[in-house]
């Protein structure tokens, strides 16, 4: 398992506080380990898929949801694979209207081996918009559209927060084919698409 560190914002009393969180998500009952199913296989917790029947998320995430431990995850872009072809082709996905996106996430605190408290996060996914469907992808992060929605995701009642989990507008999302080396964690020897380099400026 490759661990990433993502920048997040969470509510601390009356303050919206920035910090870093480990990704993927570690439930607070898992003792700092990825959860396993009844057959002993590791459960993937990178993404918390929104459900439309019964509970909104899988049991792994319901503790964070019940406790309103919602966070915003800041990213300048992400990548997804076109699952219709072999080998799968990676596509960079980026905002056309802003330098970064805020993604909806659920968080959990866990204790590290040295006894410190740390934060982990799962990114919520929803149905893809037409842009992502055009490159053969079946899901999308839940992306916040404006500052008001960002505040509401962190602080609004659950019913109102759920209404923010929807596909992102097509006109504000761009995609471009990315090099295969993008899937290697920590790979810095990449020639990124020019549009991504422009976002960094």
Confirm if 50 and 56 have CB atoms less than 8 A apart.
Answer: yes
Confirm if 120 and 24 have CB atoms less than 8 A apart.
Answer: yes
Report the CATH number of the 4-78+98-172 domain.
Answer: 3.90.1680.10
| Interval 2-55: pLDDT, tens | 578 999 999 999 999 999 999 999 988 887 788 888 898 998 999 999 999 999
CA distance 67 to 63: 6
DSSP 8-state assignment for residue 167 = P
The answer to whether the Cα torsion of 32, 35, 36, 42 is positive or negative is negative
CA distance 153 to 136: 28
Mode of pairing for the β-strands spanning 47-49 and 117-126: parallel
Which residue has 């204790």 as its token pair? 111
Q: What is the pLDDT of residue 105?
A: 98
Extract the tokens encoding 97: 């209207």
Q: pTM for the whole thing?
A: 0.91
E-state strands within the chain = 4-12, 15-23, 47-49, 70-75, 78-82, 89-95, 101-111, 117-126, 140-141, 173-177
End-to-end CA distance of the chain: 32
CA distance 16 to 10: 6
Mean pLDDT, range 136-158, rounded to an integer: 96
| Interval 57-116: pLDDT, tens | 999 999 999 999 999 999 999 999 998 888 889 999 999 999 999 999 999 998 777 778
Every domain of the chain and the residues it spans: 4-78+98-172
């Amino acid at each position: 398992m490759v661990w990433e560190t993502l920048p997040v914002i969470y509510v601390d009393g009356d303050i919206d506080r920035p910090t870093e969180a480990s990704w993927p998500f570690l439930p607070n009952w898992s003792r700092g380990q990825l959860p396993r199913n009844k057959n002993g296989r590791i459960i993937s917790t990178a993404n918390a898929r929104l459900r439309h029947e019964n509970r909104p998320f899988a049991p792994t995430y319901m503790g964070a949801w019940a406790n309103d431990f919602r966070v915003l995850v800041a990213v300048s872009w992400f990548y997804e694979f076109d699952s219709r072809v072999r080998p799968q082709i990676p596509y960079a996905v980026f905002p056309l209207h802003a330098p970064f996106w805020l993604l909806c996430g659920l968080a959990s605190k866990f204790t590290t081996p040295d006894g410190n408290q740390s934060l982990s996060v799962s990114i919520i996914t929803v149905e893809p918009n037409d842009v992502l469907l055009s490159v053969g992808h079946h899901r999308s992060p839940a992306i916040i559209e404006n500052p008001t929605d960002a505040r509401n995701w962190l602080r609004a009642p659950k019913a109102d927060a759920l209404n923010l989990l929807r596909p992102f507008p097509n006109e504000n999302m761009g995609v471009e084919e990315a090099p295969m080396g993008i899937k290697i964690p920590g790979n810095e020897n990449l020639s990124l698409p020019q549009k991504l380099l422009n976002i960094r400026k």
